Amino acid sequence: MKSLGLAPAALLLLAACGEQDKSYTGETTATHDCSKEPLLAINTSSGMLTFTSTSERITINGDGNNVKIEAASAVAINGAKNAVEIGATDKINVAGSSNTVHYQKSLSGGLLAISTRGEKNTVSPLPPLPSLGSSQ
């Protein structure tokens, strides 16, 4: 019987390939389907980026971005002066400064874990949409 000594290492390498973050480094506008690549890193600045479907993790390292996220298990914001709108998430970590984050609800239905470090960051729920048929 032949030894397959390299097979476990090769399998490990292939498994790691699927876990790499999709990185946005120079794009100023983009729409991304997170169901195809659920790990994302935003390393660009002054972008308008939209993420549809559910992501496992989105990390924002750039500055001055306007980001809309349909759903993500975790969102980390390390840059400055980003405006982020999240439809559903379970974890928000803001380490940069002067970021504004709005969220709608928990992705899993439980409590959100929110952590803020840095200065002048705001994290708050989006106001609920008015019900259909209500007068304004």
Q: How many Å apart are CA 101 and CA 94, to the nearest integer? A: 9
Quick check: 48 pLDDT over 90? yes
Predicted confidence band of residue 136 (pLDDT cuts 50, 70, 90)? low
126: its two tokens: 């989006």
Half-sphere exposure of 21 (CA within 13 A, CB side): 13
**Helix, strand or coil, per DSSP, at residue 2:** coil
pLDDT cut 70: percent of the chain above it: 82
Instruction: Give the phi and the psi of residue 53 in degrees, each rounded to 5.
Output: 65, -165
Averaged confidence pLDDT in the chain: 83
- For the segment 100-120, what is each residue's pLDDT rounded down to a tens digit? 999 999 999 999 999 999 899
CA 42 to chain centroid: 9
pLDDT cut 90: percent of the chain above it: 62
Residue 68's nearest CA partner among 43, 88, 51 is 51
Can you give the pTM of this predicted structure?
A: 0.78
